[in-house]
Chain A
Amino acid sequence: MFTLQAPYPGLQTTTIMPNPALGDSENLVAEVAKKHAMDGTLYTYVKRKGRRKLQWTFSLSRNKGLELRAFLQAYFASKILATDHHGRRWAGFFVNNPFEFETERRAAPAIAPMPRGERQRITLEFEGEPLP
């Protein structure tokens, strides 16, 4: 189970989502600049930022997609507390823009009040710091 809460730290809204699809990624947000001296010595200059960039792709029902859509419309510029499917807590921002909800297939039955049952896919990119 994946949880999104905002705004951080004064949490007011909680959105429960299913686990993301396989293929999620996590990488460092660090930079390394390398310089070669005249004598061939390699010098590296690093920038440590303490954050990590995570990418999750969710397959959601139409109703949950609309909920996530409303959540993003309200808190797209706020700090968000994300509790991922591993139980790790992250505090950061969604950095992708725009957010694209793609209706990929049908998913019966329809869940009221929506007339059609559909499945939507969205990929979220998140940059944040891990919380203890």
Chain B
Amino acid sequence: MLRVSRQAIDVLGQKASNLRVATQAVDVIGTTDPYIRVYRLAVEFLRSIPTGGATHEVGAGSSLGFTQDTSSNIKPASAGVSLSFLQEAACELVEVGRAAGTIDISQTATASLVKRLHAAVYLACGTETAYIGPKSAHAESLLVLAQSTRFPQSHELFVESLLSVEQAATPGGTKRLAAASTLGISDIADNLVKLRAANTPIAFTQIAAVEKIITVASRLEFFQEVVLGAVSAQAQNQLELLQTARHAPLPQAAASRLDLTQQVRQNIRNLWASSALVVGQSESVQKPIRAEAASQLFHQEWLPDGSGSVSLQDVGLAQECQAIHLGCIDVGCVISFSQAADPMLIRADGTDVGAASTLNISQEARFVETGWGETSLVINQQVDVLAGRPGNSLLEITQEAVVNISQGISSASQVEIREAATFTLNPSTVVNQYSPFIGASTDPNAPTPPPASLQGPLPGLETPFQLLFPTTGAATDTLTLKTPNLGNIDRLSFNRVQRETRGGTLVIFSDPIWPKIQTLVLSFSALRRDEAQGLLTFMENHLGQEIGLLDWEHRYWRGVIVTPDEAVVEDARGYFTAGFEFQGELDSTWSA
């Protein structure tokens, strides 16, 4: 219980410097409630910092709301609205904490019935939600923007709507983490002005690069629309996309999905509309181990449905690449798509309407390891004419297949090395000797070298010159003459072919089995009559027969007298000269 009292103190005097005499009276006014209420009005909040003293189940919340309105309706006037604020919510040292920041902004700038108007809306928001904590944290940042600029019924109008958004969600340093960044933008620019070009360029670059995590997902959705309601205007819609899916050399999967919807609508005359789609997609796999990459690309196009109207249809590109283990890598890249370029159903007074559809395709299958790859391209081209115009469909395909054939072709080159050697010893002492220097040769086709030793006279023979018949066994007919005259000829003649090529090269050839003819040309002088007659009788008796001849060097020949018709001439009284030619060969084995 609380008592309220009033206390009064009367100071009677002061005796010493430090002593006062006083009377004190306490009046009890009454009792109060056990609670105390304190009130204060006219609160102006400039900054709110909520604090929580307890560490268990503490929540801190801060909300800020205000409305600002500025309107200007004078000429020439400018209306500007500037809004900037900073909101911060921080939680520290909690186990289960939740920090959420919500910003709702609604801003409107309206200008009506004025000329040369410039309306600009600049909205810059920076929202950052950071969480610092180890366990079970949830960080969420939500930004919702709605911005619109309207200029009805004005001339020479410049409309610009610039929206810049930067959003990032960054988790820090934990396992089992998922990161998702979703950006949704709705941008509509309605242009109802004549003779004005409307451009809505949108450039997106979205990259999801993940290292050492399991799943990477990158999803980009946007919707862009350009609507023209004026005559003689140009609508241009350009979209550039670059999507990259990278695979790290670890068992993981990367998926990249891109959904886009693009439409261009024109309802004016003399219109030229172009829709260019440039897609660049690259996918490289280096030494993949069970890596899988899937990329899906869909876009929508206004296509005629055959009933005289057009409808939005899905046209998809599907590309899929799989890389299996190194030992057996099959990478397939199949692209199938359909593209149609078709002029819309136009009015009877419409002229010069054309539609062009350009599609550039680049397909490549690249292999790092030895593998098998196949690329197939299927193209369907179709031209549908709805309103009495000729339709031409020209499809030109150039395909080139270069095959490097590897055949098991072997080549062999055999080299034969032959060697030969000869020598010379004391050459000055052998000019009169039978001394051939015979070396060695490994050439199997080399001629037989001459005998190393002289085929000399037979031993035990004393006869100067003798003709014998037969050549073997005991002789039954013999003729002994004196030695022939000097000037006898030992003739060697061979069968060989001698030719000269067109280039002037001399070629001589002889087969080893071709005969080698040896001829002795002999003449005898000063023969007595009986010797001359005996020679004629011997030649007549053994004409054409093989006879034996013992020459003056005591060597035995075996052969035939080939000139039996040579004359025997008595050139001196009682002395005759005779001669003949004997063809034969030496026989070193004969013995008397």
Contacts and interface: CB of A to CB of B under 8 A. Distances in A.
> Which residue, A5, A12, A15, A67, has most C-beta atoms of chain B within 10 A?
A12
B490 A103 contact: yes
Contacts of A111: 432-433
Given A12-B440, A114-B456, A98 B493 contact: yes
Interface string A52-65: 00000000110111
The A interface, classified by DSSP as helix, strand, loop or mixed, is: mixed
B437 interface: yes
Contacts of B419: 10
> Which residue, B420, B455, B487, B508, has most C-beta atoms of chain A within 10 A?
B508
Interface in B394-428: 418-424, 427-428
B506 A92 contact: yes
A104 B519 CA distance: 17
B492 A16 contact: no
Given A1-B428, A63-B432, A64-B434, A74 B491 contact: no
Interface of A: 1, 3, 5-7, 10-18, 47-51, 60-61, 63-67, 69-78, 92-93, 95, 97-106, 111, 113-116, 118, 120, 127
A67 B450 CA distance: 8
B486 A103 contact: yes
A88 to B, nearest CB: 17
8 contacts: A10-B446, A11-B421, A12-B440, A14-B422, A16-B430, A67-B434, A67-B454, A69-B490
Nearest to B512: A77
Contacts of B500: 49
A4 B500 CA distance: 23
B494 A76 contact: yes
A95 B500 CA distance: 12
B450 A13 contact: yes
Interface in B499-520: 500, 504, 506, 508-510, 516-517, 519
Given A13-B422, A116-B552, A95 B498 contact: yes
Nearest to A6: B447
A103 B484 CA distance: 11
> Which residue, A60, A63, A78, has most C-beta atoms of chain B within 10 A?
A63
Interface in B537-587: 552-554
Contacts of A47: 504
B492 A72 contact: yes
A64 B432 contact: yes
Contacts of B13: none
B373 interface: no
A115 B489 contact: no
A73 B431 contact: no
B436 A71 contact: yes
A77 B509 CA distance: 6
Contacts of B498: 93, 95
Given A12-B421, A77-B509, A105-B486, A67 B436 contact: yes
A50 B504 contact: yes
Contacts of B516: 73, 76
A106 B427 CA distance: 24
Contacts of B486: 103-106, 118
B427 A16 contact: yes
Q: Interface size class for chain B?
A: 35 or more
Given A70-B436, A116-B553, A12 B422 contact: yes
B180 interface: no
A111 B431 CA distance: 12
Contacts of B490: 65, 69, 100-103, 120
B506 A69 contact: no
B518 to A, nearest CB: 9
Interface string B460-495: 000000000000000000000000001111111110
> Which residue, A3, A13, A111, A116, has most C-beta atoms of chain B within 10 A?
A13
A103 B435 contact: no
Contact of A104 (B431, B435, B487): B487
A77 B454 contact: no
Contacts of B519: 98
Contact of B437 (A7, A14, A18): A14
A77 B510 contact: yes
Nearest to B508: A93
> Which residue, A72, A74, A111, has most C-beta atoms of chain B within 10 A?
A74
B496 A70 contact: no
Contact of A73 (B430, B488, B492, B506): B492
B160 interface: no
A15 B438 CA distance: 9
A94 B506 CA distance: 11
B508 to A, nearest CB: 5
B433 A14 contact: no
A12 B420 contact: yes
A101 B418 CA distance: 35
Given A69-B490, A77-B509, A103-B487, A10 B450 contact: no
A109 B523 CA distance: 24
Contact of B420 (A10, A69, A127): A10
Contact of B433 (A64, A98, A115): A64
A113 B553 CA distance: 10
B422 A103 contact: no
Interface string B253-275: 00000000000000000000000
